[in-house]
Structure 1
Amino acid sequence: MDRVLWTKDQVKLAFHLYCQLQFGKLHRGNPEIIQLAKLLGRTPSSLALRLVNMSSLDPAIRASGRSGMKNASKLDHEVWEEFHEDWERLAEDCDRLRQALEQSQPLEPLVTTADELGILDDFTGETRSVITQQRMKQNFFRRAVLASYQGRCCMSGLSEPRLLIASHIVPWSKDHANRLNPSNGLCLSAIHDRAFDLGFLTLDDDYRVLLSEKLQSSSDAFVVQTFHAIAGRPIEMPYRFLPEPAFIKRHRQEVFNG
């Protein structure tokens, strides 16, 4: 069955999953890979290999010097480009495709862990279907960002998933085209996420932490310990989906209270 050519829809679903898994979890024993392989009529080994080969498309992966990931197909390239042109539409497409497959092949549900839970805004007055769509989109973005940073806050190193946020560099409401783009995200602890959103800190062009004057001048013990300690330090870079420099610059210009 694995000798049958992959369809574009199958590659979309594979890449959708690739975005949400940490690099060390791209193996045939991963329950999520096993489940999707069953839906696609593929072996877990075949799907895992496809996911690893997709890594070669990411500039961050290539820059790291990792080898053995050079077999991405023309179709992989095409799907990669489509995702980067419209992350939201592709996420919606994959959700629809996945639901159709699951309806025809009922599977045992996987256990949802704390790090996979999305964070919802206030959807008062919106329909259930809209809420469901927003949950799906936010969950995809969260998982993609946390996986890229290996589940650690890029400023503090915190690894407790219940205290981690997939923080938008350019706010969700300000750039619809990039609100699901993992390169518009940083994995931050809840306190660093809040400070970032309020403009108390940002990054320079070399991804080093910049503090606002208010934080720099504060003598509060918590501020000194939590923020002064990271001032001027570079963040821990993700292994894929590097933060887009244009988004960082926009955050400095539009959000940062220097």
Structure 2
Amino acid sequence: MKTTSDKYGSLWSRDELVLALYLYCQIPFSKTKANNKDVISLAMILKRTPSSVARKLGNFGAFDPGLAKRGISGLAHVSKVDKEIWDKYSGNWDRLVADSESILQRANAVSLVAQEEHGDLSMNLSLPSGPSAAAREVETRLHQTFFRRSVLASYEVSCCVRRLNIAALLVASHIIPWSVREETRADPRNGLCMCSLHDRAFDRGLLGIDSALRIAISRTALRSRCAFAEIALASFNGEQVRMPKRFAPKAEYLTWHYDHVYEH
């Protein structure tokens, strides 16, 4: 295997690009720097310099429509293969997780996801039983963790309702629930970063988001005479939800939740 210095100036393989995209999705674009611990970890796996990895993450930023809307162009000098990898996996998040973890396994490398970040209290998972249960549980948690990290990174670890920025109190809320539609389970565009309270309200239909991206509080919550409910829910009825830096929630998903979960 090449050392870090041996790889200086060498072309990136497709496997390396897949891992770079995997990481790109899971950290805020503003933190795709050479001194970021996750960038350093990937650099060690790839036997490349952190600066090289950071530049490649910047290359992927050139294809990100969320960044383009904010006038951020990413780095120039992208390759044709960079674009091919982006097009292959953008919108096919389950495959990105599976392929990335397979590459890491073949390289005898640890997952890019920290063990303590596995799991998300927002999900009621129905795990399989039988001989394949352990393998399926690992796969489920990897998808779950990719989703959480991608959603929190998109919102720069801040609640989309009230800007709370304490990571331990934040949840990556599924717009279309995990149990309803398999193909949207790992899609960051099916996620909202919320504090635990607002996540619960969203899950139970007490909070919705309308087609104008306004927060809608249900009649049940508005009728509550509890002072805390007034502060925590009713007070921001009709306000605009804060949009993420990338992976903006799909209108189709928000409409589904508003029509099927939200209590009008």
Structure 1 length-normalised TM: 0.91
- Tell me which residue corresponds to 1:118: 119
Instruction: Tell me, in whole angstroms, the C-alpha distance in 2 between the residues paired with 1:22 and 1:250.
Output: 27
Instruction: Tell me, in whole angstroms, the C-alpha distance in 2 between the residues paired with 1:45 and 1:236.
Output: 32
1:111 CA displacement? 9.9
- Tell me which residue corresponds to 1:33: 39
- Which residue, out of 198, 201, 209, partners 1:195? 201
Structure 2 unaligned regions, length at least 5: 1-6
- Tell me which residue corresponds to 1:90: 96
- For residues 145-190 of structure 1, the C-alpha deviation after alignment (integer angstroms, 9 at most, x for no partner) is 0011011111011111111110011111212111101011000111
**Cα pair 2:61 2:74 within 8 Å, conserved:** no
- Tell me which residue corresponds to 1:77: 83
Choose between structure 1 and 2: higher helix proportion: 1
- Identity across aligned pairs (percent)? 37
1:133 CA displacement? 1.1
When residues 125 and 110 of structure 1 are mapped into structure 2, their CA distance, relative to the original with a 3 A threshold, is: closer
When residues 186 and 110 of structure 1 are mapped into structure 2, their CA distance, relative to the original with a 3 A threshold, is: closer
Amino acid aligned to 1:245: A
Name the Cα RMSD after superposition.
2.1
1:69 CA displacement? 3.1
- Tell me which residue corresponds to 1:102: 108
**Cα pair 1:39 1:102 within 8 Å, conserved:** no
1:37 CA displacement? 1.4
Instruction: Tell me, in whole angstroms, the C-alpha distance in 2 between the residues paired with 1:124 and 1:98.
Output: 24
Aligned pair 1:207/2:213, yes or no?
Answer: yes
**Cα pair 1:57 1:72 within 8 Å, conserved:** no
- Tell me which residue corresponds to 2:181: 175
- Which residue, out of 33, 38, 53, partners 2:59? 53
Instruction: Tell me, in whole angstroms, the C-alpha distance in 1 between the residues paired with 2:28 and 2:112.
Output: 17
Shifted more, 74-83 versus 10-19: the winner is 74-83
**Cα pair 1:84 1:181 within 8 Å, conserved:** no
Structure 2 length-normalised TM: 0.89
Aligned pair 1:163/2:169, yes or no?
Answer: yes
- Tell me which residue corresponds to 1:141: 147
1:101 CA displacement? 1.7
- For residues 192-227 of structure 1, the C-alpha deviation after alignment (integer angstroms, 9 at most, x for no partner) is 011111111111122110111111222221110001
Structure 1 unaligned regions, length at least 5: none
Amino acid aligned to 1:28: A
Write out the 4+ residue segments of structure 1 that deviate beyond 6 Å after TM superposition.
none
Instruction: Tell me, in whole angstroms, the C-alpha distance in 2 between the residues paired with 1:94 and 1:68.
Output: 23
- Tell me which residue corresponds to 1:19: 25
Amino acid aligned to 1:118: G
Amino acid aligned to 1:123: L
Pick 1 or 2: higher relative contact order, CA cutoff 8 A, min separation 6.
Answer: 1
Instruction: Tell me, in whole angstroms, the C-alpha distance in 2 between the residues paired with 1:137 and 1:144.
Output: 11
When residues 26 and 77 of structure 1 are mapped into structure 2, their CA distance, relative to the original with a 3 A threshold, is: same
Amino acid aligned to 2:238: G
Count the aligned residue pairs: 253
Tell me, what secondary structure is at the counterpart of 2:263? coil
- For residues 65-116 of structure 1, the C-alpha deviation after alignment (integer angstroms, 9 at most, x for no partner) is 124534433222222222234211220110111122235xxx8x999486x3
Instruction: Tell me, in whole angstroms, the C-alpha distance in 2 between the residues paired with 1:43 and 1:239.
Output: 27
- Tell me which residue corresponds to 1:235: 241
- Which residue, out of 208, 224, 229, partners 1:218? 224
**Cα pair 2:206 2:221 within 8 Å, conserved:** yes
- For residues 109-128 of structure 1, the C-alpha deviation after alignment (integer angstroms, 9 at most, x for no partner) is 999486x3422635373521
When residues 136 and 213 of structure 1 are mapped into structure 2, their CA distance, relative to the original with a 3 A threshold, is: same
